[in-house]
């Protein structure tokens, strides 16, 4: 499979690229800065410099053409203000979905956040973030042209992955290593049976592949 990942230099994305490359897939990562390219090559991915805050739908669609799946793993990141929560966490996700539809890429996986809700209240930057992620999820889920899956991890950690997770429509809050988030994503891109599902993810006791198979069968 050829899989295009938005936010290709992110901490989850780099892990995902390594897994996809090791599995024989072709991973393509969209990055904002040329100096990030070498990190992607080291992970076995093809880097493409394209800023989703300024790119056109057609520019993004050109990269997506011929892909088997698209993964939105971009984010404004910690320390960014409310404005970039909207332009990246919401706006870039909508742009990426627009481009996937234009390019004819149906399989579309979103890395969202537990608690994402377009109607979330509050004025802190994190509140803005949850509203932006919720609005992005709603925009993706409204598209009949996409076979979407929305993944909402709990509190992300840099602990070593265990390969054991809890993946359900509702898990309750909890931590999850980025390693395990990436492992779940690697399974999801090739699991069309999870299309149309919004899933929460935390650490648990079920092997990743089994957890994805279980939700795909429900």
Enumerate the active-site residues: 129
3-state secondary structure of 115: coil
Please say whether the beta carbons of 107 and 96 come within 8 A.
no
3-state secondary structure of 55: coil
Structure tokens at 78: 């910690």
Rounded Cα distance, 7 and 19, in Å: 16
3-state secondary structure of 1: coil
The DSSP bridge partners found for residue 177 are 157
Distance (Å) of CA 177 to CA 52, 72, 116, 121: 26, 18, 19, 28
Tell me how far apart the 2 most distant CA atoms of the chain are, in Å.
45
């Amino acid at each position: 499979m050829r899989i295009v990942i938005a936010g290709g230099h992110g901490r989850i994305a780099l892990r995902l690229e390594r897994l996809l490359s090791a599995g024989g897939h072709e991973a393509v990562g969209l990055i904002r800065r040329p100096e990030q390219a070498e990190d992607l090559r080291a992970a076995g991915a093809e880097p493409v410099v394209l800023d989703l805050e300024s790119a056109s739908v057609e520019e993004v669609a050109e990269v997506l053409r011929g892909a088997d799946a698209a993964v939105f793993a971009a984010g404004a990141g910690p320390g960014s203000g409310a404005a970039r929560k909207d332009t990246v966490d919401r706006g870039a996700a909508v742009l990426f979905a627009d481009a996937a539809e234009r390019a004819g890429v149906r399989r579309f996986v979103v890395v969202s956040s537990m608690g994402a809700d377009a109607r979330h209240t509050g004025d802190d930057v994190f509140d803005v973030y949850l509203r932006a992620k919720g609005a992005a999820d709603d925009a993706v889920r409204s598209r009949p042209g996409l076979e979407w899956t929305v993944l909402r991890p709990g509190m992300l950690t840099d602990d070593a992955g265990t390969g054991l997770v809890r993946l359900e429509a509702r898990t309750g809050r909890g931590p999850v290593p980025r390693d395990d988030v990436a492992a779940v994503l690697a399974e999801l891109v090739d699991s069309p049976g999870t299309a149309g599902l919004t899933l929460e993810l935390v650490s648990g006791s079920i092997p990743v592949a089994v957890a994805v198979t279980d939700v795909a069968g429900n």
